[in-house]
Amino acid sequence: MSSPQNYGVWKPIAENIEFNALESNSNAVMAVADTVRTTLGPKGLDKLLIDQAMNRHVSNDGVTILLSLRAIHPVARMIVEIAERQEQKVGDGTTTAVILAAEMIKEGKRLIRELAVHPTKVVEGIESGVKYSCDLLKKSAKKISLDDAELDQIVKTSLSSKLDGNVLHKIVVSALRTAGKDAIYGDTYDFDKSIKVIRRTDMDDKIVNGVILERRRLDPELPMQVNNAKILILKLDLKPVKESWIKDNNKYQDILKMENDRLVKSKRIVDAILETGANTLFIASPEVDQVIEDLFVSKGIFAVHISTEEIEYLSRYTGAKPVRNLDDLKNKDILGTSEKIYEDEDIGIVYLEKGLGKKIITILISGSTKEISLERWRSTIDGINAAEAALNYGIVAGGGAAELHIIEKIKQLKLKGLEQVGLEVVTSALESIMRQILTNAGFNGLEKVMTAKASPDGYGVDIDSGDIVDMVAKGVLDPVLVKTMALQASGEMAKSVLRIDKNLAADDLNPQAVADSRR
């Protein structure tokens, strides 16, 4: 087996062909999965990541740990990809996805090696098993709404293994409820649009009903606060004459003419801006001519630079329509409003409160060091994602109970011949989640899972006492989407790994060129 220290670095045997690919690929996958296995669940342990410059970072987050592994076997890299995909699609359940994939590959390999089942049969069994599991889980899911106590429990469960989970839990739930129905786009919740999470090391955790820009105003002489802000979002070029033209031109008359031109043009732009009635400017143009800036100062207008990404949500929050050229300034309804805008000079943050448009909530996440605020920030986002998935798709019993109790039903699925054996790959994966959570909590995972299996639907093991309890009544709940996505992603990976019979060291890997040459 590859040593866990090198995470399965690939050393092809026999010059360029690795005949025992299944063995080597599966070992590499196990080695990588083992690095995150022990973080699963509320009693999961953390990992200390140390980079080449000896920087330290403590993490409990599957993706973070996997992405920071250096040398890695190409097949094991797929594990990292599943975790990333899970993170992108649901934003939680990354460790779950990795453990499922590792278990499927381990069990699949056993069937192929020990029972001589053909890989295609195993693959077909996985396909049917995953599909049926997802259907069963979706069918058993319960819909919830924003005011239900289950929402608190979902967030709590998701943050239970995280640093400061119980502090962050309260912040997340409060932000979710404040955002409320304004976070519904179409017919689904999209909290990405209505809750921004910012991390800082210089202030306490805080929820702001409004927008925060981590910026200072354009010039320290500009006013620090505006009440009843009339806002313009400017995408137009605020540098009418480029300095380089002036430098390149050495004729005094030309320079004079250009300087004059610059003053006239700048004044025209500022006049057009002021005519709209705006008293606050969000400037997306990277450069602002000094002449224009000086005019803003003399008119006492509030102005701050913003990035292209900030345009979209500032526009949504204030109702301002971005202006691209001077003509746009004549359009109606381009101004947005916000009751109060002010800068906290000490920390360089601009606050916007009570915008005209959609509600936006900003969560400020603190930390005594950059690493701690980063980890707490990630957890906060995990909690929000879990809540979003729960509201949009429903919830199931957590602690691996939902997965455990569909096993018997899956076994009843009668597939022809050896494909039935392939189903075992999926059922052992379904069992592995509870087993790992309990092993991590110091129990004999296997033994506890056996007892839990005989209990009614939704029952699992209390992580503290080891007793069999109703997980739903206990409030240990997971979004069903986290489970179905993790099952699908891990199933896909297991299928491709189990199908490989040889690893070849290829010269120049370019599948596109090969495909093109066949046209």
CB of 199 to ligand ADP, least distance (A): 20
Q: Write out 15-82 in H/E/C secondary structure.
A: CCEECCHHHHHHHHHHHHHHHHHCCCCCCCCCEEEECCCCCEEEECCHHHHHHCCCCCCCCCHHHHHH
Which one, 217 or 483, has the nearer CB to ligand ADP? 483
| Binding of residue 431 to Mg ion (CB under 5 A) | no
Q: Cα-flanking dihedrals φ and ψ of residue 16, to 5°?
A: -135, 10
Among 165, 398, 445, 491, binds ligand ADP (CB under 6 A): 398
Among 26, 153, 157, 503, binds ligand ADP (CB under 6 A): 157
| Binding of residue 424 to Mg ion (CB under 5 A) | no
Residue 16: C-alpha distances to residues 32, 505, 507, 511 (Å): 23, 5, 10, 19
| Binding of residue 161 to ligand ADP (CB under 6 A) | yes
| Binding of residue 95 to ligand ADP (CB under 6 A) | yes
Take residue 85 and report the two structure tokens written for it.
């995909």
Q: Would you report the helix, strand and coil content of the chain in percent, each value rounded to 5?
A: 50, 15, 30
Take residue 114 and report the two structure tokens written for it.
């020990």
| Binding of residue 400 to ligand ADP (CB under 6 A) | yes
Report the site for Mg ion in 45-104 (rule: CB under 5 A). 92
Type of residue found at 19: F
Which one, 112 or 163, has the nearer CB to ligand ADP? 163
Report the site for ligand ADP in 11-40 (rule: CB under 6 A). 39-40
Take residue 98 and report the two structure tokens written for it.
């990795």
DSSP symbol at 117: -
Residue 304: C-alpha distances to residues 167, 216, 284, 308, 325 (Å): 33, 7, 9, 13, 18
Out of ligand ADP, Mg ion, none, what residue 399 binds, judged by CB under 5 to 8 A for its kind, is ligand ADP
Which one, 398 or 458, has the nearer CB to Mg ion? 398
| Binding of residue 96 to ligand ADP (CB under 6 A) | yes
Among 119, 129, 399, 422, binds ligand ADP (CB under 6 A): 399
| Binding of residue 94 to ligand ADP (CB under 6 A) | yes
Stretch that binds ligand ADP, among 90-98, 178-186, 369-377, 446-454 (CB under 6 A): 90-98
Out of Mg ion, ligand ADP, none, what residue 210 binds, judged by CB under 5 to 8 A for its kind, is none
Residue 124 gets the label, from left (phi > 0), alpha (psi -120 to 50) or beta, of alpha
CB of 436 to ligand ADP, least distance (A): 9
Among 10, 64, 75, 93, binds ligand ADP (CB under 6 A): 93
CA distance 408 to 363: 44
CB of 382 to Mg ion, least distance (A): 6
- CA nearest neighbour of 285 among 235, 327, 325, 328: 235
| Binding of residue 152 to Mg ion (CB under 5 A) | no
CB of 71 to ligand ADP, least distance (A): 23
Stretch that binds ligand ADP, among 3-11, 94-102, 121-129, 303-311 (CB under 6 A): 94-102
Residues 6+ apart with CB under 8 A from 431: 400, 403, 404, 407, 449
| Binding of residue 165 to ligand ADP (CB under 6 A) | no
**CA atoms within a 13 Å half-sphere pointing along the CA-CB vector of 422:** 24
CB of 172 to Mg ion, least distance (A): 13
Q: Cα-flanking dihedrals φ and ψ of residue 70, to 5°?
A: -85, -110
Which secondary structure element, helix H or strand E, spans residue 234, and what is its range? strand 225-234
Stretch that binds ligand ADP, among 69-77, 156-164, 177-185, 283-291 (CB under 6 A): 156-164
Out of Mg ion, ligand ADP, none, what residue 463 binds, judged by CB under 5 to 8 A for its kind, is ligand ADP
The residue number with the shortest CB distance to ligand ADP is 398
Among 33, 101, 410, 433, binds ligand ADP (CB under 6 A): 433
CA distance 33 to 1: 13
Binding site for ligand ADP (CB under 6 A): 39-42, 44, 62, 92-96, 157, 160-161, 398-400, 433, 437, 463, 476, 478
Binding site for Mg ion (CB under 5 A): 92
